[in-house]
Structure 1
Amino acid sequence: MDEVGFLVIGSGSGLDVANAAANRGQSVAVVEKGPLGGTCLNRGCIPSKMFDRADEFHIDAKARDVGFSEIVREVSEDVEADSESVRRGLRSSPKHELYEGEGRFVDNRTVELISGDDEGTRIRAETVLIAAGTRPSIPDINGIDEVEYLTSTEALQSETPPDHLVIVGGGYIAAELGRRLAISSASIC
């Protein structure tokens, strides 16, 4: 079993705390099952904010033409490159140990990886921080199973803008998504 002073589950904002612990001399482990960098980098505000740089993303400044699929591909490539940069940074750091896979608690201070490259590894830590971020959830709305819908993750990766869209939710990802799709001339409610 691996033992560390500080274990962070998630690689988004939890990395700030992991870095602070490492800088204080603690041994640090990071467990992540998905792309590194967290919700904001991979499925939230960063991909949607990248759409604001219009001229860099094939948008005529007068909005006569929007290369929507090219925009989505380039944003996705940039996000993937940033996530890979986080991976390289953690792998090369003498202060961090990266474990890739989904972790489950097996006791109060021990996490076992149940999937991924490090499946089967157990990590025990004096302190455990759960900073696993968010995932979209499908709200319990009558009739939702009878219509086509996208989660925010799917909408941010879609290379074809919808003709119209109703956004359910008012959090930062919903707000960013509405702004992003407004660029594509979708009718948004």
Structure 2
Amino acid sequence: HANNEIGTIEPIKEISKVVKKTGVYFHIDSVQTTGHIPIDVNDLGVDMLSMSGHKFYGPNGVGALYLRKGIKIVTLIDGGSQEKNRRAGTENVAGIVGLGKAAELAEKRLVKGAEDRVVKLRDKLIKGIMDKIGNVRLNGHPTNRLPGNANFCFEFIEGESMLLSLDMEGVAASSGSACTSGSLTASHVLLAIGLPHEIAHGSLRLTLG
């Protein structure tokens, strides 16, 4: 639904219209967006949707899969009848309850417009960096992006050097996705959008919440 590095929100509704013409099921990964922007599966036209609790202040190690009524999927783990015969094994009850509560609180935050404040902070951060620092570019869509995501590339400096300097100042940041935090190679996402290796190596991702 949205890229976890550069924050761009994809045009899922438009993609769905194309997919539906082929007659296949449409699944989206909404791990980055659930709890942060409004999601209506009917409006988006998706058949399946995945989410992860820790991305909206729920517990680690638990997620959920939305299936449109009538869709059948292959059993992930055979054995017991848990989760409607889709995944055998004792359910993580504490995690499930925590996920449900986190989703409930996330919905209340969205209704109250809490993410609007995050967007304002994000835009202020982006403007401040772009105005005060030279040889920097914003990665991803300028406005149609995750509320708390700001991703930049700085010329003439390695991302790892920036992370070390920021860490010494008490600022937590990353130079790519959390999934590849131990890698020193350039981000495949930045390379895919056409950035040369020397620029992609100077990436910095800041996330607000």
Q: TM-score, normalised by structure 2?
A: 0.22
Q: Name the structure with the higher strand share.
A: 1
**Larger relative CO (CA 8 A, sep 6+): 1 or 2?**
1
